[in-house]
Structure 1
Amino acid sequence: MFKTIGILAHVDAGKTTFSEQLLFHTNSIRTRGRVDHQDAFLDNHEIERNRGITIFAEQGNFTYNGSTYTIIDTPGHVDFSPEMERAIQVMDYAIVLISAADGVEGHTETVWQLLQKHRIPTFFFLNKMDREGTDLPGILNEMRMSFSTELMDVSQLKEGALSDELIEFIAERDEELLERYMEGDYDEDAWRSAIRRMIQELQVFPYGCGSALKDIGINEFLDAFDRLTVTDYCKESDLAARVYKIRHDENGNRVTFLKLMSGTLRVRHEIHTGTTVEKVTQLRRYNGKKYTTVDHAVAGELIAVTGLAEAAIGDGIGALPGGAAYDLIPTLRSSVRFDSSIPLKDMLHAFRTLDAEDPSLQVVWDEHVQEVHVHVMGVIQLEVLKQVVRDRFGYDIEFGQPTILYKETISAPVNGYGHFEPLKHYAEVHLRIEPAERGAGITFANECHANDLSIGNQNLIKHHIFEQDHHGLLTGSALTDVKITLLTGRGHNEHTSGGDFREATFRALRQGLEKTDNVLLEPYYDVKVKIDMDHIGRVLSDIQQAHGTFDPPETIGEKTVITGRVPVATFMEYSTIFASFTNGKGAMTLRFSGYDVCHNPEEVIERIGYNKDADPEYTSTSIFCAKGKGYAVPWNEAEEAMHLL
Structure 2
Amino acid sequence: MGDFVIEYGLEKEEIEKIYSRKTKYEMTPTLKSKVKFDNSLNIKEVLNVFEILNKEEPALNVLWDENLKEIHIHVMGKIQLEILKEVIKERFNLDVDFGKCEILYKESILKSTIGYGHFEPLGHYAEVHLLVEPNTRNSGITFNSKAHVDDLAIGHQNLVKTHIFEKEHRGILGGYPLVDLNITLLTGRAHKKHTSGGDFRQATLRALRQGLEKVENVLLEPYYKFKIKTNLDYMGRVISDIQKMNGEFETPIINENLVTIEGRGPVATFMDYSLELSAFSKGSSSVSFIFDGYDRCHNSDYVLEHRSYDKNGDSEYTSNSIFCSKGQGYVVKGSEAKLHMHCIK
Q: TM-score, normalised by structure 1?
A: 0.49
2:138 is aligned with 1:455: no
The answer as to whether partners of 2:9 and 2:283 remain within 8 angstroms in 1 is no
2:307 is aligned with 1:637: no
Q: Distance in 2 between matches of 1:548 and 1:635?
A: 39
How far did residue 426 of structure 1 move? 1.2
Q: Determine which of 222, 228, 237 is the counterpart of 1:529.
A: 228
How far did residue 518 of structure 1 move? 0.8
User: Cα deviations across residues 353-389 of structure 1 (Å, max 9, x unaligned)?
Assistant: 3322211111234567664421012344334545666
Q: Distance in 1 between matches of 2:231 and 2:32?
A: 35
Q: Determine which of 297, 305, 321 is the counterpart of 1:622.
A: 321
2:310 is aligned with 1:611: yes
How far did residue 398 of structure 1 move? 4.8
The residue that corresponds to 1:566 in the other structure is 265
Q: Distance in 2 between matches of 1:399 and 1:505?
A: 37
2:188 is aligned with 1:482: no
User: Cα deviations across residues 233-285 of structure 1 (Å, max 9, x unaligned)?
Assistant: xxxxxxxxxxxxxxxxxxxxxxxxxxxxxxxxxxxxxxxxxxxxxxxxxxxxx
Q: Residues 9 and 589 (structure 1 numbering): CA distance in 2 closer, same or farther, change over 3 Å?
A: closer
**Amino acid paired to 2:113:** V
Q: Distance in 2 between matches of 1:395 and 1:628?
A: 59
Q: Residues 558 and 54 (structure 1 numbering): CA distance in 2 closer, same or farther, change over 3 Å?
A: closer
User: Cα deviations across residues 423-449 of structure 1 (Å, max 9, x unaligned)?
Assistant: 211111111111112111111122111
The answer as to whether partners of 2:7 and 2:288 remain within 8 angstroms in 1 is no
Q: Determine which of 569, 572, 582 is the counterpart of 2:281.
A: 582
Q: Distance in 1 between matches of 2:202 and 2:66?
A: 18
The residue that corresponds to 2:30 in the other structure is 331
2:140 is aligned with 1:441: yes
Q: Determine which of 79, 84, 96 is the counterpart of 2:21.
A: 84
Superposition CA RMSD, Å: 3.0
Identity in percent: 51
How far did residue 344 of structure 1 move? 7.1
Alignment of 1:486-565 (within 5 A): 486-565=185-264
User: Cα deviations across residues 520-549 of structure 1 (Å, max 9, x unaligned)?
Assistant: 111111112223322221111000000111
How far did residue 333 of structure 1 move? 0.5
**Amino acid paired to 1:76:** K
The answer as to whether partners of 1:368 and 1:615 remain within 8 angstroms in 2 is no
Q: Distance in 1 between matches of 2:71 and 2:315?
A: 16
Q: Residues 11 and 450 (structure 1 numbering): CA distance in 2 closer, same or farther, change over 3 Å?
A: same
The answer as to whether partners of 1:368 and 1:616 remain within 8 angstroms in 2 is no
Q: Determine which of 396, 399, 412 is the counterpart of 2:98.
A: 399
Q: Distance in 2 between matches of 1:425 and 1:397?
A: 49
**Please, which runs of 5 or more residues in structure 1 have no aligned partner?**
1-7, 15-51, 56-74, 90-324
Q: Distance in 1 between matches of 2:205 and 2:275?
A: 44
**Please, which runs of 5 or more residues in structure 2 have no aligned partner?**
none
The answer as to whether partners of 1:426 and 1:491 remain within 8 angstroms in 2 is yes
2:57 is aligned with 1:358: yes
**Amino acid paired to 1:584:** G
Alignment of 1:206-217 (within 5 A): none
Q: Residues 579 and 337 (structure 1 numbering): CA distance in 2 closer, same or farther, change over 3 Å?
A: closer
The answer as to whether partners of 1:10 and 1:76 remain within 8 angstroms in 2 is no
Q: Distance in 1 between matches of 2:41 and 2:320?
A: 38
Q: Residues 563 and 499 (structure 1 numbering): CA distance in 2 closer, same or farther, change over 3 Å?
A: same
The residue that corresponds to 1:426 in the other structure is 125
How far did residue 489 of structure 1 move? 1.2
The alignment of Structure 1 onto Structure 2 pairs a total of residues equal to 340
Does the residue aligned with 2:59 lie in a helix, a strand or coil?
helix
Alignment of 1:7-26 (within 5 A): none
The answer as to whether partners of 1:361 and 1:374 remain within 8 angstroms in 2 is yes
Q: Distance in 2 between matches of 1:504 and 1:544?
A: 46
Of 375-384 and 470-479, the range deviating more from structure 2: 375-384
